[in-house]
Chains A and B, each alone.
Chain A
Amino acid sequence: MASLRILYFAWVRERIGQDEEVVERPAAGATIASLLDTLGAADEAHAAAFAERSRLRAALDQRFVPLDTEIGEASELAIFPPVTGG
């Protein structure tokens, strides 16, 4: 099975307790949001990190995308809060 690398930043990383993880790429048609549901159901740290969806943003293969985007053939997903640079 193909794998999907997931990177976490800022407080999402702190709540999950790791910088990144590798998961099996979900079946065709799965969205970022549905993957977060699956990961959140598995343990409390993920559930806590993903609880407030309105405070989460995502990038798929290093492009900003909405959470309802299909993961498709992407190999890298990042989950993080709204950016605060500048």
Chain B
Amino acid sequence: MPAVLSVRVSTEDFDPGAELAALEALPSGAVASFTGLVRNDGGLEALHLDHYPGMTQRQIEEIVAQAAARWPLLGVTVIHRHGTMKVGDRIVFVGTVSSHRVAALEACAFLIDWLKVSAPFWKQELRRDGSRGWVEAQGADDARAEKWR
């Protein structure tokens, strides 16, 4: 595991600037991050994210452990929200710290790719016309995650 690890699963919003500042305070040379937002797909008003409370935190920590086994990471922050989020709201944050940019950037991409396919969250779309529907998993996401094998 990285020396400094923070994994938070919560309904609360977060401040990416504050998260980055905390990661930049570690003695390192490179910080990379990804912030995922609710995309303004046609007719979408909000997303509701369901999750498996007993499993989510540990599953994310296992994905981080895999990243830490591959790249020399000094710090990792993963924040994943559940509950209801409007278009433009933040859903997920991944921040990685390493001595060099390649490790930080690659580990960040690995983490978000694997979160998408192996963290137990499910998105439901709430549309402006009042209808709702569960988002279908994308084969392209599986393919992206598999590329890291």
Residues of A within 8 A of B (CB): 7, 9-11, 13, 59, 62, 64, 76, 78, 80-86
Contacts and interface: CB of A to CB of B under 8 A. Distances in A.
Contact of A86 (B59, B92, B124): B92
B71 interface: no
Interface of B: 36, 49-52, 54-55, 58-59, 80, 91-92, 112, 115-124, 134-137, 141
Is the contact region of chain B dominated by helix, strand, or loop, or is it mixed? mixed
Those 3 A-B pairs whose CB atoms lie nearest each other, nearest first = A85-B121, A86-B116, A82-B137
14 contacts: A9-B51, A59-B120, A62-B54, A80-B52, A80-B120, A81-B137, A83-B117, A84-B135, A85-B80, A85-B120, A86-B36, A86-B92, A86-B115, A86-B117
Given A9-B50, A62-B55, A78-B55, A83 B112 contact: no
Given A85-B80, A85-B115, A86-B112, A10 B55 contact: no
A3 to B, nearest CB: 17
Contacts of A80: 52, 120, 122
Contacts of B112: 86
Given A83-B121, A85-B92, A59 B55 contact: yes
B115 A62 contact: no
A13 B52 CA distance: 12
